[in-house]
Amino acid sequence: MQLLEVNQLSKTYGSGDTAVHALKSASFTLQKGEFAAIVGESGSGKSTLLNLIGGLGTPTSGSVIIDGNDIFSLNDKELTVFRRRNIGFIFQSFHLIPELNVEQNIMFPVLLDSRRPDEKYLDELLHVLGLEERRSHLPSQLSGGQQQRVAIGRALFPRPALILADEPTGNLDSENSREVIRLLKETSQKYSQTILMITHNRAIAQSAERVLRVSDGVLTDLGRCT
């Protein structure tokens, strides 16, 4: 079942002689439950692509369809609600709320949406992420690896259609990086969760099921990893 469809997506900043073509007619699809990585050097256009897929920017042309919804046909209010309910974000810098403990940070997107948290699912996630004994800890009481696990839990908790991970291992050492990638793969398989991750690290990209590359704004599908 197709979950994500990116069609001829382009982004140009400026115009005329000063125009910068950050992304050039990118097209690809992801199936439900697929774990894919986008690799590219700094400034290649991979972050622009991820931001557009997440509805955090407006393309110059093209479309993004998530679970049958053309996100750029939505108005600002509709897009905000759609993004909150259907897209989970994992950032390099965690972006946890300092005043909230582990379980409160994980539940935050659902609470923000005025929905009742699924306590059973929360307990299950805490177990899968190895955070059961840390559920009442504040972010300042956690290691970097633990904070990123909380961020993964927060992205998973609303049961979104798609998770976008922006350099999720960028601030972690090699051991914690391997653990985060293992958890992403495990949760993708366990919950049939579709995950799109960007990284400049080719070794980490090879941990995904499929790799795409962005270079000078041009997207190339490198195919499935063996």
Predicted local confidence at residue 203, as pLDDT: 85
Predicted local confidence at residue 191, as pLDDT: 86
Q: What is the pLDDT of residues 111-149, one digit of tens each?
A: 988 889 999 999 999 998 899 999 999 999 999 999 999
Q: Which residues of 130-166 are buried (b: 16+ CB within 10 A; e: fewer)?
A: ebeebeeebbeebeebbbbbbbbbbbbbbebbbbbbb
Helix 119-128 to helix 144-156 angle, to the nearest 10 degrees?
Answer: 140
Q: How far, in Å, CA of 113 to CA of 149, rounded?
A: 22
**Cα torsion through 176, 179, 181, 183, rounded to 10:** -140
Q: Which stretch of DSSP H or E encloses residue 186?
A: helix 174-190
What are the backbone angles phi and psi of residue 113, rounded to the nearest 5°?
Answer: -90, 10
pLDDT band at 219; cut points 50, 70, 90: very high
User: Encoding tokens for residue 177?
Assistant: 């990086």
What does the pLDDT average to over 44-52? 93
Predicted local confidence at residue 184, as pLDDT: 87
Helix 102-112 to helix 144-156 angle, to the nearest 10 degrees?
Answer: 30
Q: Is the pLDDT of residue 104 over 90?
A: yes
What does the pLDDT average to over 39-51? 90
Contact 84, 54 (CB under 8 A): no
Q: How far, in Å, CA of 132 to CA of 102, rounded?
A: 9
Predicted local confidence at residue 38, as pLDDT: 94
% of residues, the chain, pLDDT over 90: 67
CATH of domain 33-61+75-224: 3.40.50.300
Q: What is the pLDDT of residues 158-217, one digit of tens each?
A: 999 999 999 888 888 888 888 888 888 888 888 889 999 998 888 888 889 999 999 999
Predicted local confidence at residue 13, as pLDDT: 92
What are the backbone angles phi and psi of residue 128, rounded to the nearest 5°?
Answer: -60, -35
Q: What is the pTM of this model?
A: 0.90
Q: How far, in Å, CA of 187 to CA of 50, rounded?
A: 20
Contact 194, 3 (CB under 8 A): yes
Predicted local confidence at residue 226, as pLDDT: 54
Contact 52, 11 (CB under 8 A): yes
Q: Is the pLDDT of residue 225 over 80?
A: no
- Of the candidates 27, 98, 91, 31, the one whose C-alpha atom is nearest the C-alpha of residue 64 is 27
pLDDT band at 18; cut points 50, 70, 90: confident
What does pLDDT average to over the chain?
A: 91
